[in-house]
Chains A and B, each alone.
Chain A
Amino acid sequence: MSDVVEKTLTALPSLLSLDSQSGAGKLSSTSKLGGLIRSITELTSKHEEEKLINRELAAIKEQVSSPNTSMRQMKEIMVRAIYCEMLGYEASFSYIHAIKLAQQGSAIEKRVGYLAVSLFLNESHDLLLLLVNTVLKDLQSTNLIEVCMALTVVSQLFPKDMIPAILPLVEEKLTNPKEIIRRKAVLALHKFYLIAPNQVQHIHSKFRKALCDKDPGVMTASLHIYLQLIKENPDSYKDLTGSFVAILRQVVGGKLPVDFNYHNVPAPWLQIQLLRILSLLGKDDQSTSELMYEVLDESLRRAEMNHNITYAILYECVKAIYTIYPKSELLEKAAKCIGNFVVSPKINLKYLGLKALTYVVQQDASLALQHQMTIIECLDHSDSIIKRETLEVLFRITNVKNVAVIVEKMLDFLKLCNDDYTIIDLVGKVAELAEKYSPNNEWFIQTMNVVFSLGGELMHPDIPNNFLRLLAQGFGSEEEEQQQLRVFAVDSYLTLLESDTAHLPQRFLQVISWALGEFSYLKDGLEPCKVTKLLAKLLDERNVTSESRSWILSAMAKLSAGPGAAALALQVSERYSSSLDTVLRQQALELLHLSQDPELHARVLPHGAAWDSFEVDSSLSFLDSFVSEALSQGAAPYKAPHQRQEELRQEKALSLEPYSISLPVSLSSCSITDRQSPTLLSMSSSLSGNSNELKAGSSTLKLEGVKRVWGKEGYLHQQDAVEEAAQVEEAATPALPLSPQQGGAESQQTHGDLTVVEQEKQKLASSLFVGLGSQNSTFLMGKSDSTSQQFRRKTRAADSTSSGVSERSSSSSHSSCSDFLHNNLLEDSQNSLNTQKIGVSNGTHEGPVTQSFQTANGIPEEDGEELGNPLPVIVDSDVASIGTETSKETSPFLDAGMVLVQPCSPQTELRDFVQPGSSGITQTSLRSQFPPELSQLPHSDISLLSSDHSLSLSACRAYRDDALLFVIILSNCSQSSTNGLSVQLDCKQLKVASLRGNALENLPAHSMSVCWYALLMEEPHTQVTVAGSVSYRAVPGHTQTLQFTDKLFLTDFIRPLTLSTEEYGKLWLSFSQDVRQNLKLIQGEGDPLRATLSALKEQLQLHIVDIIGSEGIVACRLLPDSPCLLHCRIHGGSLAVWLRSPLLSLPDCLLYYCQKTLEEC
């Protein structure tokens, strides 16, 4: 081999000799490229470089277009063109020549041609189509190197639509005798799978063959595909677990040829790939996990701590151990291993150790305790990346006791940060912590002030929205507490407005004006006209956007009733009634009227009325008579905006915009905070529309003039309490294993000769890590914390009209819930009292649970009716507009999404079939438990989800026209009754339309109950996993959780879309993007087109609109309301299908199932 290197070395200016061979007597290519490079390095200014390159490009242009240029010369020209492009100059004229070179050159020229193509062109470039033939030819070449080149370029870039053309050839290469070809073919297929999964659906069996390939390299390559497949659907590949374990065992045992070693470590890339696959397979699956414990243990043992690559393997191993079903012995070893990482002097290892800690502490927070001194050191690390990762660890261990310190650390970091992405992320986390664990009102308001100032226009719009909702609804605790929060807010905002407001972000101004408008009356002795003056001053600021102005004006409208305010209002409204902005103009006029008519004002905007006393008639029925009158006088009937758009579009030749259904989005995004004036609806939607505006400058703004009450003083006060608590906890848990650092630190403390710095660190440590000590036992329930949190977020987003449970109460109950899990050893008795009362453990430090919270949780049906109102309107107008009749008899949407629990009486027969896993569960007996509205719906088979000794869960899917109902059947198979049942469902990809699904009542022994969620799929996915948990108490005071997961498929969310041929045509034209695919035709007796379409109709719930000759048009919709249109035509022996949909990924997902259906036929 060395002679080869030598040869290439001596031939380093190798091309020189090559060109002298060509004998044209011109300058050699290397010297040309070399000359170019050299002259560039000699240049001193950018300007000179530009001139030189432009000259060079002109020369290249001339040469490439000359017919006399040989392929060999073309090759060196291409190299120069690549070089110019790398310097940032465009040489697009040479792209076509690169393709030509790949097409016509000899192997070595071809190689440069392919390289140039892959560097010049993008996957979507039109010229790429010209490459298809070349690739086809090279794939069939007998020359190994040409085949390799073709496979390489295919996996680098290939037009997605042309994959079918070369797929058979690539597939064929899987059986090539050369392993290098097989390996490249597998990787090319992997790439195809990533960009167009439906294209390679049918060759899964070949992947298995590749996995069993005798060459380890091919097998390794196939693991890339398997990792992807298993990521998407772990359940289908559980049977391979044994094989993967066996492979890993062999690799770890050094059974592979030494060729695969890397720095004496056997095939590290292969090991890591296998570890990843195993962790996916073992996740939440005890029996599968058991298969891999041994090999994971061996991997941990075998990896010696001596090289980066072994650290990489160890890290992956630890990750796997913490992902799969836990085994305490392994967890201990893994934790030790992470410990070594964290304390390592090597900074890269330290970083990775911290990264590992972020997920480890979620399961076992006491690990953070062991490393507290290291974590504190990392907090002050000079490298901000390390700091950031440390904050991430702290974020995961936050609780009610340490929240103030941790949030302060995060805000400190934020103030110095100037990366938008980090700011958005951290601000969101601070807001989440503040909501979840806020120790008191004042702290909460001050913290949110900083969040709004720092987050500016960058932060997620949910943050201000949630904050306002919290302010509006309170947190379900005492009214007094609630008022106090509002007064704090008003106070701090007044202080802010009195100082310079120029630096405040718009979003913050909007929050301020809303809160002042709504709650300033709560503050004793505050004249409304004082607030109005401040607002008027703000209104005149130059940098205030018209969106914020509109918020300010509506705040002023609310305040305009007071004495003195009217005059000011008059002044303001005069100025803005001539504004060019129609929204502002309208609001100014409203302000004028309201300020002059106190009676009207009192009726429209009553002070401090309970928020739920408002009934918004969003169907605007009070206008009915007006409308009918206008209609009778010949006015045109109303058309929804998108309908009008559509009509406009038909007049145009081309529609360039994607079809959008704007109405439901804007309605659902309008939050409760707008409730007081229906006219604000439009404004709030414009708010959400503008929310993506980013303003870079705002990130550096500092909040001036704010009392930092929660700063030093507040913090110190907090800390005292916290230290006390820490001591109590330490005393209570003497068995806590002390880490060396901690032990050392303690002994130092007793000797009493601490340096000041050390003391401060110690102090910080005790405040940071308080509340973690009580759970030194492995904490397996940790995961439920994150899921329930997500669920809470979800409901909040979906819940446009807001439920009776106030935001604050749900957040505090949540915090206390996790708190309960943390501290159950110590606070059991206290909590059990509360849990018995309300079904959710709710021992907040803030006081007893109030009545309102109880009712909110206990009687969901009542709100359901009321809350259901706005949505059916949307569904109606929307669905009707695309021509379905489905909405006509739709029951109020959310209404049926409510959880109804129906304990049932026939207890004797239940005894045998509710045993977990027993075959005695008959579909009919379970089905008999369905309430009438469910039993009429078509539904899937009932399957057992999960069970434990006292409860068993089954589920089925019921297909309602407007939603998929995920029906959960709970059966109590124990001898005693269970109490405080609560179901939580979580799926990020789906919209859970049910308002909240928990708070079931008690379930007597041997009885069952049924509840269901209405689910919608707003973003298409071929399949999604829903996870959830049921918590209940079989024994008083002892809450148990039963986790479950289930899979839902795209087809569950597909419904036929009934429309006429004309409507179809209109709709078709309104979408622009086409996806095309050839499908198999079903060849049977009769018309193959009809047979194929009806097979699709049967299986996938499509609607056949019309069949004309050899063409058919088919339509369906994805719940809630995304249409997908199919235009099918017999072409050759197959069915060519064009699909259009406003959702770009829907056609692909649907095609996947079409293919699957037809393959199975």
Chain B
Amino acid sequence: MYGSSMRFLLLFSRQGKLRLQKWFTPLPERERKKIVRDMTTLVLARKPRTCNFLHWKDLKIVYKRYASLYFCCALEEQENELLALEILHRYVELLDKYFGNVCELDIIFNFEKAYFILDEFLMGGEVQETSKQSIANSIEASDMLQETMEEYMSKPAF
């Protein structure tokens, strides 16, 4: 296990349904399933007005609830929990900017888009780009492919 600053990121609903999962370190399938189970039970069991952090094995879990969705990520012990909260927050802002007043349904029905946005924001567990504008630009560029493929292909290289 090597150290990228974030180990995994999960999105799940209040009912414990997984909506998105991103693993930044290689883990066998069984381990992943166990982690998802552990995370949903741990986080959903938290009482209101407790802090947004948890210990799990040797990792720090940072989670935050936005409407009906929980955003939850795992960090190494020495990482900065507040910063991780802001990473989650920025991701929500990015989703919001893309979907416009994002809600859980947007993410359920367009989860692949949520993944694409995440890939522009985080890479290998590290923050790659923090500017909302730049991320929107690159997502837009990729999305454009879909509609004007032919037109685009005739253009000179980007």
Contact = CB atoms under 8 A, between A and B. Distances in A.
Interface string A99-128: 000000011100110010001001110000
Interface string B121-139: 0011011111101101010
A5 B86 CA distance: 23
B54 interface: yes
Given A8-B98, A12-B106, A115 B116 contact: yes
B4 interface: yes
Contacts of A315: 80, 82
Given A8-B99, A12-B99, A107-B149, A145 B50 contact: no
Interface residues of B, number: 66
A86 B143 contact: no
A46 to B, nearest CB: 12
Interface in A347-390: 347-352, 355, 382-383, 385-386, 388
A163 to B, nearest CB: 14
Nearest to B157: A142
A145 B123 contact: no
B143 to A, nearest CB: 7
A33 B109 contact: yes
B128 A184 contact: yes
Contact of B133 (A1, A33, A142): A1
Nearest to B110: A12
Contacts of B119: 115, 152, 156
A268 interface: yes
B123 A312 contact: no
A112 to B, nearest CB: 6
B116 A111 contact: yes
Contact of A269 (B29, B127, B140, B158): B127
B97 A195 contact: no
A621 to B, nearest CB: 47
Nearest to B2: A194
Interface in A291-324: 308-309, 311-312, 315-316
A76 to B, nearest CB: 10
A152 B90 CA distance: 20
B143 A82 contact: no
Contacts, number: 176
A267 B134 CA distance: 14
B130 A143 contact: no
Classify chain A's interface size. Answer: 35 or more
B123 to A, nearest CB: 5
Contacts of B108: 37
A145 B97 CA distance: 21
B123 A383 contact: no
A83 interface: yes
Nearest to B17: A87
Interface in B70-114: 80-83, 85-86, 89-90, 97-100, 106, 108-112
A9 B100 contact: yes
Contacts of A309: 82-83, 86
Interface string A188-200: 1011001100000
A421 interface: yes
A30 B113 CA distance: 13
Contact of B53 (A13, A269, A385): A385
B154 interface: no
Nearest to B59: A421
B70 to A, nearest CB: 15
Given A115-B116, A155-B124, A259-B133, A108 B98 contact: no
B111 A83 contact: yes
B55 interface: yes
A30 B82 contact: no
A422 B141 CA distance: 48
A311 B83 CA distance: 9
Interface string A145-156: 100100010011
A262 interface: yes
Given A156-B124, A187-B126, A309-B86, A347 B157 contact: no
Interface string A242-265: 000000000000000001101000
A145 to B, nearest CB: 6
Interface string B12-28: 00000011110000111
A920 to B, nearest CB: 43
A195 B124 CA distance: 11
Given A4-B140, A106-B149, A352 B26 contact: no
A1095 interface: no
A725 to B, nearest CB: 34
Contacts of A383: 47, 50-51
Contacts of A34: 109
Given A5-B97, A347-B49, A108 B111 contact: no
Nearest to A34: B109
Contact of A348 (B18, B82, B143, B146): B82
Interface in A326-351: 347-351
A512 B97 CA distance: 65
A86 B18 contact: yes
Top 5 nearest A-B pairs (CB, nearest first) are A144-B158, A312-B82, A123-B26, A383-B50, A142-B157
Given A183-B129, A259-B131, 6 more contacts: A12-B106, A34-B109, A112-B112, A119-B115, A348-B82, A383-B47
Interface of B: 2-4, 18-21, 26-29, 33, 47, 49-58, 80-83, 85-86, 89-90, 97-100, 106, 108-112, 115-116, 119, 123-124, 126-131, 133-134, 136, 138, 140-143, 145-147, 149, 157-158
20 contacts: A1-B136, A18-B146, A82-B111, A82-B112, A86-B111, A111-B142, A119-B115, A148-B138, A180-B134, A180-B138, A191-B4, A195-B2, A221-B126, A259-B133, A309-B82, A312-B86, A355-B81, A385-B51, A385-B53, A388-B55
